[in-house]
Amino acid sequence: MFQRHLKPLDNNDFFLFGARGTGKTWFLEQWAAGRDVLWVNLLQDAEFLKFSRRPGLLRELLATNKPARSLVIIDEIQRVPELLNEIQNIIESPETRSKFRFALTGSSARKLKRGGGNLLAGRALLNWMFPLTHRELGASFSLEKILQFGSLPRVCTAQNDAEREELLDAYVQTYIKEEIRVEQIVRNLDPFLRFIEVAAQMNGEPINYSSIGRECRVDSKMVERYYQILEDTLIGNFIEPFHTSIRKRQSQRSKFYFFDIGVANALRRQLRSAPSPHHYGYGRQFEHFIILELIRLNSYGRRRQRYTYFRTADGAEVDLMVKPAPGNSSPSKSNLQKP
């Protein structure tokens, strides 16, 4: 398996957010090896039912704390956001404050935001897990494979391309089934299915909500809502246009990049065609790859850089403007362009 570069800071409670299949659970299994852990997996129906009916059960379990455990891992916390209130009480109570450390994973921020999830009032640090970076892949890295299949861990360890295709098709189906249909995020699934395919085709392009709306036969407000769903369920990131004025920045079009190239290719049904370096699409996928690598490594390295893009009136474009974290250097910008 691959050595992940995520390093949660010691002695802090933390969230670990990341899309499904990025390796959060596997990472925590390695990270927690040798410690006494109470592990709650809310993806399992029995656990989900138990804790959703009675969130206070967590406090009761920890009050007896037999066998003695000091680390509590809760997988997919967004499925029972009410547990966060219990955890906050445990963290704030003088009797239990220093007894337990919590690690909480989530593959969607949507329910936490909308379900009144409190993110523990800033007491827990936020960490993010992504598909594998080129540094994590090391000798297994192949640019051509990444541009076709992305770098979800299971996809990277698949035996052959046919298996990679099946895994990615299944991933897309699971996302739609689990995140969208079961959680009832959208009432009418058909327009969303049309939207997500168009959004994948428009990956990395400035978003035109009206034109996408026309193509999906929904209004532009609904397209905005759909994009928000993708972002909340950690399926991608917005990159805003660069402008020194916040007002002008808001009036220009953001871009949206899917979190994994293979997933984007599966959604736009392009898994079976390997990208050719002489094709226009290759350059776009290479740009997608570089931006994803920077987002991931920026997060793992706690660089706190801010990324925007810049496009002139005549269509010339700087793919990425990089603003270093405050305090890292003068308020400066680098720009990145691929020839």
Partner 1 sequence: MSDIEINKLRSYARDLRADRSLFISREDRPRNVDGVEILPWTLGINSVLEE
CB distance 272 to 166 below 8 Å? no
CB distance 39 to 73 below 8 Å? yes
Query: Which is closer to partner 1, CB of 186 or CB of 294?
Result: 294
334 near partner 1, judged by CB under 8 A: yes
Q: How far is the CB of 286 from partner 1 (least distance, A)?
A: 6
293 near partner 1, judged by CB under 8 A: yes
Q: Interacting stretch for partner 1, rule CB under 8 A, among 53-61, 113-121, 227-235, 299-307?
A: 299-307
Eight-state DSSP code of residue 8: P
322 near partner 1, judged by CB under 8 A: yes
28 HSE (CA, 13 A, CB side): 28
Q: Interacting stretch for partner 1, rule CB under 8 A, among 36-44, 117-125, 208-216, 320-328?
A: 320-328
Q: How far is the CB of 305 from partner 1 (least distance, A)?
A: 7
Question: Where in 131-150 is the site for partner 1 (CB under 8 A)?
Answer: 134, 143
CA distance 2 to 193: 33
12 near partner 1, judged by CB under 8 A: no
Residue 42 tokens read as 């809310």
Question: Where in 269-288 is the site for partner 1 (CB under 8 A)?
Answer: 277, 286
SS3 of 257, please? strand
Query: Which is closer to partner 1, CB of 116 or CB of 277?
Result: 277
Query: Which is closer to partner 1, CB of 224 or CB of 240?
Result: 240
x/- binding map, residues 95-134, to partner 1, per CB under 8 A?
---------------------------------------x
Residue 136 tokens read as 């994590």
197 near partner 1, judged by CB under 8 A: no
At 327, the amino acid letter reads: G
Which H or E element spans position 161?
helix 161-174
Query: Which is closer to partner 1, CB of 104 or CB of 320?
Result: 320
Query: Which is closer to partner 1, CB of 281 or CB of 301?
Result: 301
257 near partner 1, judged by CB under 8 A: no
Residue 235 phi/psi, 5-degree rounding, is -90, -10
**Residues touching partner 1: how many (CB under 8 A)?**
32
Q: How far is the CB of 295 from partner 1 (least distance, A)?
A: 11
* One of 12, 89, 250, 328 touching partner 1 (CB under 8 A): 328
CB distance 35 to 10 below 8 Å? no
Which H or E element spans position 90?
helix 83-92
Q: Give just the sign of the alpha carbon dihedral 232, 237, 241, 246.
A: positive
CB distance 312 to 153 below 8 Å? no
Sheet holding 306-311, edge to edge: 255-258, 236-241, 306-311, 317-323
Query: Which is closer to partner 1, CB of 113 or CB of 135?
Result: 135
Residue 12 phi/psi, 5-degree rounding, is -130, 150
SS3 of 144, please? helix
Q: Interacting stretch for partner 1, rule CB under 8 A, among 49-57, 194-202, 207-215, 305-313?
A: 305-313
Positions touching partner 1 (CB under 8 A) are 134, 143, 242, 277, 286, 290, 293-294, 297-298, 301, 303, 305, 310, 312, 316, 318, 320-322, 324, 328-330, 332-339
